[in-house]
Every structure is written in C-alpha cells, then in structure tokens.
Structure 1
Amino acid sequence: MLESIGLDERDEAVYDALIRRARATVADLAADCNLPPRVTARALRSLVDLGLASTAQGRPVVYAALPPDSALEAVLRERERALNGVRSHLSGLMSLYRAGSRFAHPGELVEVISGRDEVNRNWAQMQRATRTQVRGFDCPPYAAAAGHSEPNPVELELLARGVKYRVLYDSSVLELPGWLEDVSAGIRLGEQARIATGLPTKLAISDERIAMLPLLRPGDNAVTASYVIHPSPLLDALVALFEAVWERSVQIRPSAPPTAEDLPERLTPEEEKLLTLLASGATDKSAGRALGWSERTVQRHITRLLRRFGAQTRFQLAMEATRRGWI
C-alpha cells in the first residue's frame, strides 16, 4: 500500500507493528514481524527519514510512531511538490527533445502512407490521439467513401469529450450534396468552422505533434496516399499557414431560430446561411445547391436583402451583416 512513498513490504510491516505498539525497540518489532534485527533497524531508519517515526534518547533506543494522518499527509505533500517540479521541467525537456529529433534523423520526419484504407486508418488514429485540438483545411477529394454526405464519427465523439476542432472549408465544398447538413451537425456540437476560396491544399494537424498532407495529382478523385509529418520546421510552417488563412476566412455560424425578442430586421436562418456562403465567394449556383434552392430563388433572396438594408452591392450587404454580427 505504501510503496508509492518509498516503503517496501518489510518497511510497511515494521511500520504497522510500530503503529500498533505506539512505542517500541528494535527487538520488540523484530519479534513482532519475524524479521532479523538488522533488517528491522534499517526499516526504522527509513521511517524516521520519512518523518513517520521519531527516536528517544536512551539504551536501547526506543522508536515512537508519529500520528499517521499528519505524518503521511506531510510525506504526500512533499511527493506532490517533487512531482510538480518534474511536470514543470517536462515542457523544457520536450522542447529539447523536439529540437534534437528534428535533425537527428531527418529521414524519419516525413513518411508516406499509401492506400485509401491506410489513409483512413491513420486519419482516425491521429484524431483519437489528439489531446487539445484538430485543425484542418477541408476540400475535395476525400479518402472516405462517404465524403461529406455524412458527419465524421470520430470528430463527433471527440467534440463530446472536449477536443476542439477548427476546420476551414474551401468554397468548392458548396457543390457537394449534403455538405451543409454535415457541417451543421459538427457546429452544433462545438466545431468552429470557417470558409474560404482557394485553399492551397488539404491538411489535418493534431495539436502541434503530427500532420497529414494528402498526396494528390491533378484529376485525382480520391485520396489514396498521404504524407505524415512529425515535429519539424515543416510542421511549424503548416501550423503557421493554417493560422494565417484562418484569420482571413469567413466564419460559419450555427443558425438559431428567431425569438420573440428579435428585431424586425433579424435575418432568417436561411438568409444567414446565404450571406455566409456569398461572403465566402460562392456563386449563385453553388449557394443554391448548398441550400437546396434554384439559382432564381437565390437571386430573388439577394435582391430582397439588398432592398431591405439599402445596400447597392453584395459586398455592402455582407459588410452590413458582419457589422451586425450575423455572419
């Protein structure tokens, strides 16, 4: 029971015997524990060193047990202080480790995985190993057969556990059927989603420890190979790239049904989605596909919104909606 504070089985037996007697000599405790006097004396010295027992002057030496609650509590506090010291040193050690590993074996910093199933397996493993957050650029094509027709089950599981997801979608996803419903499911659970035009690549980053960068050739309609990038200057550059593009992107907000307190000019959920899509650079056709509308319906809504807010252009309309905090 007390191995965690440095006592072995015989030390603990001597301590239990001393607790029962309160005060005792080496001979008394050796007889109680059926141990040699030399072993018993060594165990008693360990107890004194830990602050669990004290000695009294005289011959033979008498050992007294200190109150276990306060004595053991003091030992535990000291152990906790030591562990906290190790924890505080850990980040420094990890920085040194990363700095050394980046150049000790440069050939191991980037690996290539091949095969659609292997890419999917590594993607799931990488997500499940995440402690704090997953960041990514999302755009077609996909390794998963379902693409964006259904939510990522691992993401939904991790969001429920408190792992943060920040995902930046390329505006080309607006052409995909079911995309809006899929992303909305993640947003409702806490995903932070933004949209931008012309993302440079697909990308996934787990914390700042590992990244996946798909290997794609022009015309590929599925991800069948990927780079796996370990801590290195390349990984640092990918993290910086994500953050820079994230700052310039348009947030996708979850739509909320209007309440009785809403102002008359409050946007409907469909109008919020429409303006978010337009602000990201979506065409009327792609916005209509995402919303399940015809191009004519999209244009009719835009015309109505322009008149409603006195805007001359779509850009002015999007700026006004942003100013009001609606997109």
Structure 2
Amino acid sequence: MLEAIGLSQQDETVYGALVRRTQATIAELVQDCHLPESGVRRALRTLAGLGLATRSAARPFRYVAVSPDSGLEAVLREHEAGLQDVRLHIRTLMEMYRAGTRFAHPGELIEVISGRDEVIHRWVRMQQETHAQMRGFDRPPYAAPQGHTESNHVELALLQRGVRYRVIYDKSALELPGWLDDVTAGVRQGEQARIAEVPMKLAISDDRLAMLPLLRSGDDTVTASYLIHPSPLLDALVALFEVTWERAVPVRLGALDTEDLSAEETRLLALLASGATDKAAGRALGWSERTVQRHVTKLMSRVGARTRFQIAMEATRRGWI
C-alpha cells in the first residue's frame, strides 16, 4: 500500500509493527516482524529518513512512531512537490522534442488515415488523450453516420472530467436535423459554441495534434484524414482557429426552460440568435419558411418589436437568449 511513497514491503511491515506498539526496541520489532535484525535496521533507517520514526537517546535505543497522519502527510506533500517538478520538466522536454521533430523528421509530421472506421477510431482516441482542451471547426459531412442526430458521448464525458471544448460551427450546420438538440446538450455540460463560416473541418487536441479531414468537392462522408503533429503547420492551424473564434458569433441558448416561451419559440429564438436564416431555421425545425415567418411575426407582436433586431434585443433583456 505504501510503495507509492518509497517504502518496500519490508519497510511497511516494520512500520506497521512500530505503529501498533507506538515505540519499540529493535529486538521487539525482530520478534514481531519475523525478520532478520539487519533487515529491521535497514527499514528503521528508511523510516527515520522519511520522518516516520525517531530514535530515543536513552539506552537501550527505542524507536518511536511518528503519528501517521502528520508523518505520512508530510511524505505525501514532498512526493507531490516532486511530481510537480517532474511535470514542469516534462513540459521542457516536450518543447525540446517538438523543436527537434519539426526539422529532424519532416516526413513524419503528417499522417494520412484512410477508411471511415479508422477515421472514427482515431477521432475518438484523439479526444480521449486530450488533457486540457479540444478546439475545432464543425461542418458537414461527417465520418460518423449519425452526424448531429446523436450527441458526442466522448465529449460529454470529457466535459464532466474538466476538459474544455471550444467549437465553431459552420452556418451550414444550422440546417441539419438534430443540430440544435445536440449543441444544447453540449453547451449545458460546458461546451463553448460559436457560429461562423469556417473553411474546413478541423479538430485540435491541446497543442499536440490536429485532425484535418481530406475532402473533395461533392464528398458526402469523411473517409480519410490528415493527422498533423507538432510543426509550423499545426501552429498555423491553431492561430487560424483563434482568429476565427474571436470573430465568430456565440451560440446563445439562454433560459431554455423559461415558462414565458413555448418549446417551439425557444428553439426558433436559439436558431435566429445563432444567425440562422428563415430557410435554415425551417430545415432544422422541420418547418416551411412560411411557418418560420409566421412564428417570427408572432414573436414580434408579443414583445412589441418591428424588426428581428428588436426581437433579439427584447429577448436578451428578458433573459430568453
């Protein structure tokens, strides 16, 4: 049990016996532990070095157990400080590694992943190996057959674990059936979502790996992707994401459970606030453009607005978006 803080099985046996007695001579510990005297002496030197035991000045020498809560806590704190130093050193080593791989083996900086199943597998694995944050451009088509009709369960699990997700959705995604429900589930768990016109599909895991689907005009599914390892290209993709993020429109879902709005009005307002046109909102909700316009007119009348901009202003004031 205590091997994690540097104690061998023999050290732990002697420590347990000493704790039970609170203080003991070497002879008593030899008898209790059924170990040779040389082994007990080595264990006691280790325990004293870690601050878990002290030796009395009176003869015969007696060893006294330090209270386990304070003694072991002190050892744990020392180990945690050491682990933090190791983490900092890992970062330094990673910087050196990245600097070296950029030029030593340029042919290994980009992998090509082929096959829809392999693309999905690497996409899931890349997320699961993310420590701090995932960033991405989201637009059709998708490798997963369900597209946005089902939530990304890997993302939801990682959000609960504290991994940050920042996603910029292309305006074309607003028209997809299930998009609003999917994004709502993510945002409620902590996803940060924005809308813009994005040039491609892209996913970036921390600052260590990017996935760039390989698509040709007319493709309706993702069957191949580039994996970009630390390199100037990866740096450029990260910079592109950050610039686009600053210019993108936040997805505003607001008080989705408010009693002031019907479920239909809530969904429509969320889409309109995200920049959806009547046509796009209609496709997302399964309505005709005329139905969308009728609901918009109804909202205008309800809040006393003459324009869509005024609807948005009043909806914001009331906490609807």
- TM-score with structure 1 length normalisation? 0.78
Alignment match of 1:65 (pick from 59, 63, 72): 63
Classify 1:135/1:323 alpha carbon distance in 2 versus 1 (closer, same or farther; 3 Å).
farther
Question: Does the residue aligned with 1:321 lie in a helix, a strand or coil?
Answer: helix
Of the candidates 297, 300, 325, which is equivalent to residue 291 of structure 2? 297
Q: Name the amino acid aligned to 1:101.
A: Y
Counterpart AA for 1:81:
R
Tell me the distance in 2 between the aligned counterparts of 1:84 and 1:181: 42
Of 302-311 and 118-127, more deviation after overlay is shown by 302-311
- Residue identity in the other structure for 1:126: M
Residues 7-86 of structure 1 correspond to what in structure 2 (within 5 A)? 7-12=7-12, 22-24=23-25, 38-51=38-51, 52-56=53-57, 62-68=60-66, 70=67, 72-86=68-82
1:102 corresponding residue in structure 2: 98
The corresponding residue for 2:130 is 130
Structure with max Cα Rg: 1
Structure 1 residues without counterparts, runs of 5 or longer:
none
Q: Match of 1:152, as an amino acid?
A: N
Unaligned runs of 5+ in 2: none
CA contact (8 A) 2:177 2:285 kept: no
Confirm whether residue 205 of structure 1 aligns to residue 204 of structure 2. yes
Equivalent position to 2:265, from 265, 271, 288: 271
Conserved? CA contact 1:187–1:254, under 8 Å:
no
Amino acid across the alignment from 1:201: M
CA distance in 2, matches of 1:255, 1:233: 42
Summarize the Cα distance change of 1:254–1:183 in structure 2 as closer, same or farther, 3 Å threshold. farther
CA contact (8 A) 1:195 1:252 kept: no
Task: Give the deviation of 1:48 after TM superposition.
Answer: 3.8
Q: Map of 1:241-320 to 2, 5 A cutoff?
A: 241-247=240-246, 248-253=248-253, 256-259=256-259, 262=260, 267-309=261-303, 311-320=305-314
* CA distance in structure 1 between the partners assigned to 2:38 and 2:121 by the alignment: 59
Whether contact under 8 Å (1:284, 1:298) holds in the other structure is yes
Letter in 2 for 1:178: G
| Alignment: residue pair count | 314
**SS at structure 2 position matched to 1:77:** helix
Give the C-alpha shift of residue 142 in structure 1. 0.8
Q: Displacement, 1:141?
A: 0.9
Residue 222 of structure 1 corresponds to 221
Kept after mapping to 2: 8 A contact 1:98/1:231: no
- Let me know the Cα RMSD of the aligned residues: 3.4
In 2: Cα distance, 1:255 partner to 1:83 partner: 46
In 2: Cα distance, 1:14 partner to 1:309 partner: 77
